[in-house]
Amino acid sequence: MLESSHSPSPSHSPSPPRPAVAILVVLALCVLASAAFGQVSEPPPRSDTITAVSQFLLCSGNPYALCYYSGPQHAPPKTNRPVPALPCELSDDGKSATCKCYAFEDGASTNFVALPSILNPDILAQTESACGEDGLLCLNMVNQKTCAAGDEPEPCKSDPKLGSCCKTAPVCGDLGNTQAGIGQSFFPQASLLSTFSFKHAASYPIGSTDCSEAPTPLYAGCMTAPCGEPYGEPGQRFADCKCPTFEGPYQFGQTAPDAGGEAGSRACTLKPGYVWSAANLETAGNLATQAPPE
């Protein structure tokens, strides 16, 4: 568990993020609050354990950070296009990592929140109540095409008493809205939150590499983690996100024929002090199969 009495050293970035200590303290309180709500026996939200693709709830209009490709100190050696280094640097106590992530501030792109990974316990409870634990009662990665066509997906189609399964999940309203000038309501001091999208999927060998047998299966669970002020040039924006870490089975989101290779490659074992931003998808499978066509 993260403890508010420990604060990681700030990462080195071209532009200073908002107060890192304040963000980490609030993150710690939310993680501890999750434990108080009885989520200790099951995988906690910070583990990013996802059992169904339908748990990826579709949101739009909000700014967000994309940490899906973050981890190694150096840029991966084999990509479809040149990409920057996106390191996830461990804190001194190893309980969190500062990850450099892509930042999208215009609210123009669809993005997804993994329901079981919502770090704010109140928002998690509200969203589970509205969407169900599997996310099927809200707009999600699986039913989005059906909803876009104006049809009602299951199970709502067979049971009208459930209402519409095309409704937007409550968590989406807490991510903020760029056009409306509304900020996120997860964490004070944070500029935006880490979610998931298929942005930059054409640049990377997007896929899944299982690191469950890694000697030290420690990874950063970045879903809904708080992020500082974006920085960089137009079209290439970044944010530093404070992600809690978890030790257990995980997969990172790129294919890695050279898994186990030298530090900086798409390998499970990175240079000491760095971890992958990853998740345990369990039965959810490879998200690459859900990527829209180019």
Chain-centroid distance of CA 143 in Å reads 20
What is the pLDDT confidence band of residue 59, given thresholds at 50, 70 and 90? Answer: very high
**Which structural domain, as residue segments, surrounds residue 98?**
20-34+53-284
3-state SS, residue 120:
coil
Q: What proportion of the chain, given as a percentage, has pLDDT over 70?
A: 79
**Tens-place pLDDT, residues 236-280:** 999 999 999 999 999 998 886 543 334 334 478 889 999 999 999
Task: Tell me if 110 sits within 8 A of 96, measured CB to CB.
Answer: no
| Cross-strand partners of 114 | 56
What pLDDT shows up at residue 255? 81
Does residue 40 fall inside a structural domain?
no
Indicate if the pLDDT at residue 178 is higher than 70: yes
39 located within any domain: no
Cα separation, 198 vs 51, in Å, equals 19
Q: Are 184 and 62 in contact (CB under 8 A)?
A: yes
Residue 239 · residue 227 · CB < 8 Å: yes
Is 226 inside any structural domain? yes
For residue 58, what are the contacts with CB-CB under 8 A and spacing of at least 6? 110, 111, 112, 139, 140, 141, 144, 168, 169, 172
- Residue 46 maps to a domain: no
Domain assignment of residue 244, yes or no: yes
**Cα dihedral 74, 79, 83, 88 in deg (nearest 10):** -40
Nearest to 97 by CA among 85, 107, 86: 86
Angstrom CA distances, 111 to 96, 136, 208, stand at 24, 17, 19
In a domain, 9, yes or no: no
**Per-residue pLDDT tens over the stretch 135-146:** 999 999 999 999
Domain count, the chain: 1
Which range (80-84, 180-184, 282-286) has the least confidence? Answer: 282-286
pLDDT given for residue 172 in this prediction: 97
Instruction: Respond yes or no on whether the N-terminal peptide bond of residue 244 is cis (omega within 30° of 0).
Output: no
What whole-number distance in Å separates Cα of residue 204 and Cα of residue 232? 20
pLDDT of amino acid 94? 95
Predicted TM-score of the model (pTM): 0.84
* pLDDT value of position 283: 65
Residue 45 located in a structural domain:
no
Q: Report if residue 24 sits inside a domain.
A: yes
| 3-state DSSP assignment of residue 180 | coil
Beta-bridge partner residues of 97: 90, 243
